[in-house]
Amino acid sequence: MCMQDKSLQRSFMRKRNYGIILMAGVLLLFFVFGKSGNADEENVVTESVVKLFQPRYEGSVSVEEAIMERRSVRDFARAPLTMKEISQILWASGGATLDGITGPTRAYPSAGAIYPLEIYLIAGDVTGLEPGIYRYDWKSHSLVLHKEGDFRDILARAASNQRMIQEAPATIVVASSYKKVERRYGERGALRYVSMDAGHLGQNVHLQTQSIGLGTVMVGAFTDDKVAEIIDLKDEVPIYMMPVGKPETH
């Protein structure tokens, strides 16, 4: 091998070694700094989905009995709810059904089948479910974690300190996007139809809780902005609160 070839070979080897060293340095910087990113990222909760139990479509209490025995419950026992109870109530509130004509629809009627209501569960004492705010995904019959923590106390303060919200193991909050309805039916339609939808949903929850030995009450006295801030609502307005639990026996 001539001197020129050896010189070229040494030059090539030096460049290759420099390249390896440079690449190693870049990788080191990535692992040391690249993963840290923004310090606030450590507090961000990644989306967590909780699959619910299959709802029952038959029960031991007739519709007539549930209507006859329905009452507003404001005193709740210090007892947790089960995931099966939560699953059944959420399905009744707005889960998937089949009307036989248009295909899959939902448990309550909605003007123009728009369904502008969003259903949130504020869970505090539910066996097998971490405390937090969850959004009900009716299509997959599951809960999507929205915020971690027990928000019952702060939610009660936003509702004129009504103690049943603080004491109930869970509360359903119904919010609505009025814009969805207004785009099709105008301002008048939005004001009327959203309230109708919420009424249909609320009665479903009332009758379902009654039929499985639980209780609830409709709560409309709260500060909209405070509730929206707690749940972190963007384009929705809170309409209803329904604390759910086992009735206290006196």
State residue 129's pLDDT score: 96
State residue 128's pLDDT score: 95
Under 8 Å between Cβ of 95 and 186: no
State residue 65's pLDDT score: 97
State residue 47's pLDDT score: 58
First-to-last CA distance in the chain? 103
Q: Which two tokens stand for residue 247?
A: 């009735």
What CA–CA distance (Å, rounded) separates 72 from 25? 67
CA angle 35, 130, 108 (to 5 degrees): 110
pLDDT tens string 121-137 = 999 999 999 999 999 99
- CA neighbor of 80 nearest in space, from 41, 116, 127: 127
Share of the chain above pLDDT 70, in %: 78
State residue 3's pLDDT score: 46
pLDDT tens string 149-193 = 999 999 999 999 999 999 999 999 999 999 999 999 999 999 999
Provide the pLDDT confidence category of residue 146 given band limits of 50, 70 and 90: very high
Cα 106 to Cα 74, 84, 110, distances in angstroms: 28, 19, 9
State residue 103's pLDDT score: 64
Kindly tell me if the per-residue pLDDT of 4 is higher than 60: no
Under 8 Å between Cβ of 152 and 145: no
Instruction: Kindly report the average pLDDT of the chain as a whole number.
Output: 85
Kindly tell me if the per-residue pLDDT of 15 is higher than 90: no
- CA neighbor of 59 nearest in space, from 212, 245, 216, 205: 212
3-state secondary structure of 95: coil
Task: Tell me the residue type at 227.
Answer: V
Provide the pLDDT confidence category of residue 14 given band limits of 50, 70 and 90: low
**DSSP string over 148-200:** ES--HHHHHHHTTT-HHHHHSSEEEEEEE-HHHHHHHHHHHHHHHHHHHHHHH
pLDDT tens string 21-52 = 444 443 333 333 333 333 333 333 335 999 99
C-alpha torsion 166→83→113→220, nearest 10: -10
- CA neighbor of 120 nearest in space, from 139, 98, 96, 94: 94
**Mean pLDDT to the nearest integer, 79-86:** 98
State residue 10's pLDDT score: 53
